[in-house]
Amino acid sequence: MKEYRFSDSNAEKTVKSQMITSTPIFLIGISGGFYIANNQYDGILFNNPLILVLTIIICIVAVVTGLIIGYKNNKKSLMKNVYRITENGIERKTPSDKTVIINFNQIKEQKTLKSGLLIKSTNHEILIPSRLDNYNEITAVINENLR
């Protein structure tokens, strides 16, 4: 039974990629919030520069704080994920002690995506991230066992 984990640098790259993807969603949400708040109070938000500046500063501090905390937590979480290849199948254990096991004979579908190798059974799915240490080795072992 061999275990595969994220190294510090690979976990960092993965979290940075996730943050870059999610930041535009935050910005769209904040812009929508400004628009709704401005319409709700008859334009008072954009007419009063003091309220506008204070609101923008508070939003920037909240977003930056959230991104920093999220970065640290996601990195720790990724580094605690363990992927195992056993005699019978693939196992993924997460920090919350949730374990997903898919036996090789239960695999219904496998897809190679940009983000990694997606393995599906009837009830479960496991994504082997492409930035996982020794990704090529784990995918080769999986493909070999599926033949």
Q: Which of 29, 45, 79 is the last residue of a domain?
A: 79
Pair (105, 135) in one structural domain = yes
36 membership: H or E segment, kind and range: helix 8-40
Rg (CA), the chain: 21
List, for residues 107-132, the tens digit of each pLDDT value: 888 888 888 899 998 889 999 998 88
pLDDT the model gives residue 69: 93
Pair (140, 127) in one structural domain = yes
pLDDT the model gives residue 57: 92
CATH of the domain at 89: 2.30.29
pLDDT the model gives residue 18: 86
Pair (70, 94) in one structural domain = no
Pair (22, 8) in one structural domain = yes
Phi-psi region of 8 (alpha: psi -120 to 50; beta: other; left: phi over 0): alpha
Inter-helix orientation angle 8-40/49-80, to 10°: 150
Pair (53, 97) in one structural domain = no
d(CA 102, CA 82): 14
Q: Which of 44, 59, 79 is the last residue of a domain?
A: 79
pLDDT higher than 80, residue 17: yes
Query: Which one has a higher pLDDT value, 134 or 96?
Result: 134
Total count of domains within the chain: 2
Pair (30, 96) in one structural domain = no
d(CA 62, CA 33): 14
**43 lies in which domain range?**
2-79
> Global pTM?
0.72
Pair (62, 99) in one structural domain = no
pLDDT the model gives residue 19: 87
Pair (49, 36) in one structural domain = yes
Q: Are 93 and 85 in contact (CB under 8 A)?
A: no
List, for residues 23-77, the tens digit of each pLDDT value: 888 889 888 888 888 788 777 777 878 877 888 899 889 988 988 999 999 898 8
* Beta strands in the chain, from DSSP E residues, in sequence order: 2-4, 82-85, 89-93, 99-103, 109-113, 116-120, 125-129
Q: Which of 79, 105, 135 is the last residue of a domain?
A: 79
pLDDT the model gives residue 33: 85
pLDDT the model gives residue 142: 85
pLDDT higher than 80, residue 89: yes
